[in-house]
Amino acid sequence: MNGVLIIDKPAGLTSHDVVNRARRILHERSIGHLGTLDPMATGVLPLVTGNLTRLAQFYTSSEKTYEGTIRFGLATDTYDADGEPTSPPQEVNLIVEEIESLASRFRGVIEQTPPPFSAKKIKGVPAYKLARQQKQVVLQPVQVEIKEFEIIAVEADCVRFQARVASGTYMRSVAHDMGRELGCGAHLESLRRTAVAEFTLEDAYTLEQLADRLSKGTPHPLEDVFVHPRKLLPDFPSVTADEATVARIRSGRTVNLLELSRARQVKVFSGQRDLIAIATRVAGTLFHPKLVLCG
């Protein structure tokens, strides 16, 4: 079972919980995910299965898109609604123009300190483990990029937003920092991821829908659930190899791909759906299979 499927993650589950449930549903041990979502967050969680788990290396810097809500007047230790308050609640009177002006300061390349309850490591230990043990967590600011950050609505003490960010950006930290700037505290009340790289909510299935497909006993219940392999890594051109070229690639040997002489990396297929390798150009029309996905 080699493929990529997109799960619409529910609130309350960790990304690892989703992977474990998918393993039980699909009866497949080899499953991973492309980018952690916090337990309180929902939305796009791409899963890679079988041999295609090895594609994860190409998605480590994937762009993400979110929509969510920031609640002002209360800061928490996790920077989101799952945390404990770190100060008494305050009444706030949000002014649209003030919020818009504040949001503009978070666009572009900025310095951001990750939340203490995060997967960032301190001397090899995830910060959240130290935070749970009530040990001091000192994380250094890192450079992140917020490509888009639009305020959709300001309602009482809440602000609804949409954001498109580079990998490594924490919207929880954005919420916390905005509250600090206003002097009233804030936390991320809700977050929904609407896209990761080329994957969107339109591609997504719930865990219940996935289980339902398999329970119906149809001949190919998951064919339209898995993302078509030709749609993966859209920046890489595709080529369909003949039998001799497939044999060379499977043995790790260099091949000649005349029609793709200008590409740096290409997806190599055997037939329409069988992605067998990611090949890298060596020189001219010669390509070396950097990643062989089947033997």
- Look at residue 191 and tell me if it is in a domain: no
- Boundaries of domain holding 276: 230-292
Helix then strand then coil, in percent of the chain rounded to 5, is 25, 35, 40
Put residue 179 in one of left, alpha, beta given phi > 0 → left and psi -120 to 50 → alpha.
Answer: alpha
CA of 19: how far to CAs of 6, 13, 62, in Å? 11, 10, 19
- Look at residue 116 and tell me if it is in a domain: yes
* Catalytic positions: 38
- Look at residue 125 and tell me if it is in a domain: yes
Specify the length of the chain in residues. Answer: 295
- Per-residue pLDDT tens over the stretch 11-34: 999 999 999 999 999 999 999 999
Q: Is the domain of 139 the same as that of 85?
A: yes
Mean pLDDT of the 102-127 span: 80
- Look at residue 190 and tell me if it is in a domain: no
Q: CATH number for the domain including 29? A: 3.30.2350.10
Q: Is the domain of 164 the same as that of 256?
A: no
Q: Is the domain of 148 the same as that of 98?
A: yes
CA of 10: how far to CAs of 42, 164, 182, in Å? 5, 21, 31
pLDDT(81) > 80:
yes
DSSP string covering 141-201: -EEEEEEEEEEEEEETTEEEEEEEE-TT--HHHHHHHHHHHHTS-EEEEEEEEEEETTEEG
Q: How many CA atoms lie within 13 A of 61 on its CB side?
A: 3
Q: What is the tally of structural domains in the chain?
A: 3
Q: Is the domain of 164 the same as that of 75?
A: yes
Question: How sure is the predictor about 95, in pLDDT bands with cuts at 50, 70 and 90?
Answer: very high
- Look at residue 35 and tell me if it is in a domain: yes
CA of 174: how far to CAs of 155, 163, 246, in Å? 18, 11, 48
- Per-residue pLDDT tens over the stretch 145-194: 999 999 999 999 999 999 999 999 999 999 999 999 999 999 999 999 99
Q: Is the domain of 106 the same as that of 149?
A: yes
- Per-residue pLDDT tens over the stretch 237-252: 999 999 999 999 999 9
pLDDT(201) > 70:
yes
